[in-house]
Amino acid sequence: MTTQDSLNPEQGPPATGRVRVVSPHSAARRVLGGASVSEEVAEQSAVGEVMVQSLIRSQLRLALVVSIGFMVALMIGWSAIRWVPAFRTWQIMGIPAPWLMLGVGVYPVIGACAWLYVRAATKNENRYRDLVDEK
Amino acid sequence: MNPAVGFTAIITVSIITALIGFYGLRISRTTSDFYVASRTVPPWLNASAIGGEYLSAASFLGIAGLIMISGIDALWFPIGYTAGYLMLLFFVAAPLRRSGAYTIPDFAQARLNSTQARYVTSFLVVMVGWLYIVPQLHGAALTIRTTTGLPSWVGATAVVVIVCLTVITGGMRSITFVQAFQFWLKLTALAAPAVFILLLVSGSTGMVPPGGIRAGSEFFPASDILDGESMYRTVSLLVALLFGTLGLPHVLVRFYTNPDGAAARRTTLIVLGLLSVFYLFPTIYGIVGRVFLPGLITNGNADATVLLLPGTLIGGLGGSILTALVVAGAFAAFLSTTSGLVVSLAGVISQDLLGGSVRGFRIAAIAAAVVPLGVALGTDSLALAGSVGLVFAFTASTLCPLLLLGIWWRKLTDIGAVAGMLTGGLLCGSAILLGAQLGPDSPWRDLLTQPAAWTVPAAFLTMILVSLATPQRRNASLARFMSKLHVPERPLATGQGRG
């Protein structure tokens, strides 16, 4: 890292809050190598700060939506067992539906929620990366 | 039961655990190796290890035992244990990995910039870990007593000795291999006998179980659902399990071994798959056990259902082999959860009290294991799934608000965090203690024996209100830390790991 640091134009005295304007393919970026450009942008500029905040907000919104959706689904299942006699007595291959739902059926739902979340969260992060690279 | 079967199973598992631990010893050299396996464990291995560590006595023995006692309501336990990982994936996995901290107290200090907050967090982490080890040792005592006839203390002591030896000699790298192996052992040990039991019960082998199916006993009595638990108890249990998982110290320390935030998410996804498959099986034992081993419910040994069912239904050599398998799986469950907890507690204790050296880590590991052993020997076993459920409630009321608000809410202050954790801990702790003294008819019983539904919101509320009242205590360098948590790592051109 030491050689890279000495080449790094950002290591001078960059005024805090200054917005760095560089082409996405500029030499400055390539020189940074292992360091994260997106992180530097975030730390050094007001615009970066806003971008990070919007990333955090979209990730939080996503997490809340998926988790609340999952909990609502659980509550609907619980109510069906408790208050819908037809569901309570319904049998599939000799096994009552409530047992099948709670013993087996919940798990694919959990898996689906997790998969959807990972996909959407990765998409949010990619969108953030693209934004940073465009700057 | 033939004691030789139990002895063989337990000794074999212990020897294999020690061998894998020794093999891992050769690649762990530095302090960083000891703490978090140098953060280079691939997702599938890490996921197996997380599964191995997480599936404790409560999952392996406790769920079937609880189905014996309370029927379909017990199914909320495995649902909660699995869905807890869902919450962990949504709110904690990737940011916590990116935080670059070794332990939860490290996170608290970096986020809040306060050593007091760090010490309070360390104290709670150690409490949670100790409380969680106790039911594991109770499970070991039960297993040894049921399968070999030896006194209870032998089981608990054996687990502590083996765990201390493994942790002291290998550190976390070998723990990763040991845990991954033990996950697959536990899954096989539960699945293989379950398949035979199902074939037998459905009558497709042509064999009639000893004594036949008892007249008048049904696999799915209708009374199950009608006399079910109150809505309050179910909701409160789910709050505890969903939000308790993301504060468990032995679970969290595992996420630091992922290479980056995205890998932490992939790992969690795999863990969810592994848990979903595993939790299909305890249900089978519980349902079949209610019909064939009803005596266990009345004599208070319902947690032994998994251990006794294969031998009861399947006689001869086949029965002995399957029994040896479940005993081995159960012992693997106690060993893996206890060693995971001991490693994470040792990390916390040695960093805060002993300067973070490798020697300090070893001393701390012994302290982390011996204290709960004393508690386990001095107390009686409750229903395993229930007592682990209370630990989840305690974690959800203390460490969970710290992590959730710390990761997602900028206005959290150190004073707010400490006030919230102490409020949640005191409320939940005293509710559990008081609840244990109450008679079955007390109107307060539900509120005190299943406290998460009100203690978790109380902890969150205290944390938020006190933080809002102390805005001058906000961490000045917060923006930098928050972007570290949430900004994705760049694919590294140089291949160097950061953090």
Residues in chain B with pLDDT values less than 70: 1, 21-40, 170-174, 203-218, 222-229, 356, 381-382, 491-499
Test A117 with B90 for CB contact under 8 angstroms: yes
What does the pLDDT look like over B131-156, one tens digit per residue?
A: 889 888 988 888 888 888 888 888 88
pTM: 0.84
| β partners of residue A3 | none
Domain ranges of chain B: 3-214+224-381
What does the pLDDT look like over A6-26, one tens digit per residue?
A: 444 444 444 445 444 444 444
Test A34 with B265 for CB contact under 8 angstroms: no
Helix or strand or coil: residue B101? coil
Q: For an interface test with B, give the residue of A2, A32, A55, A74 to mutate (most B CBs within 10 A).
A: A74
What is the interface pTM, i.e. ipTM, of the complex? 0.85
Contacts 24+ apart (CB under 8 A), B308-316: B308/B1, B308/B146, B309/B193, B309/B197, B309/B285, B310/B193, B310/B196, B310/B197, B311/B1, B312/B210, B313/B196, B313/B197, B313/B200, B313/B201, B313/B209, B313/B210, B313/B288, B314/B193, B314/B196, B314/B197, B314/B200, B315/B210
A60 has a pLDDT exceeding 90: yes
For residue A12, the distance in angstroms to the closest alpha carbon of chain B comes to 19
Q: What pLDDT is recorded for position B24? A: 61
Question: Of residues B96 and A40, which shows the higher confidence score?
Answer: B96
CA distance B452 to B393: 5
Q: What pLDDT is recorded for position B494? A: 38
Taking CA atoms, B173 is separated from B32, B40, B106, B176, B212, in Å, by 10, 10, 20, 5, 49
* Residues within 8 A of B (CB atoms), A 65-104 only: 66-67, 70-71, 74, 78, 81-82, 88-89, 95-96, 98-99, 102-104
For residue A54, which residues of chain B lie inside 8 Å, CB to CB? none
Once rounded to an integer, what is the mean pLDDT over residues A109-125? Answer: 93
Q: Which strand (E) or helix (H) includes residue B398?
A: helix B384-408
Q: What pLDDT is recorded for position B404? A: 94
Q: What pLDDT is recorded for position B46? A: 85
A107: contact with B, CB 8 A cutoff? yes
Q: What pLDDT is recorded for position B399? A: 94
Q: What pLDDT is recorded for position A23? A: 45
B220 → closest Cβ in A33, A48, A99 = A99
Q: What pLDDT is recorded for position A19? A: 47
Q: What pLDDT is recorded for position B128? A: 92
A121 → closest Cβ in B265, B479, B492 = B265
Q: What pLDDT is recorded for position B214? A: 52
CATH of domain B3-214+224-381: 1.20.1730.10
Q: Name the domain count of chain A.
A: 1
Q: For an interface test with B, give the residue of A107, A122, A127, A129 to mutate (most B CBs within 10 A).
A: A107
A106 has a pLDDT exceeding 60: yes
Size of interface A-B (CB pairs under 8 A): 123
Q: What pLDDT is recorded for position B314? A: 81
B487 → closest Cβ in A39, A60, A71 = A39
On average, the pLDDT of chain B sits at 82
Helix or strand or coil: residue A95? strand
Residue A31 — pLDDT band, cuts 50, 70, 90? Answer: very low
B234 → closest Cβ in A55, A78, A88 = A78
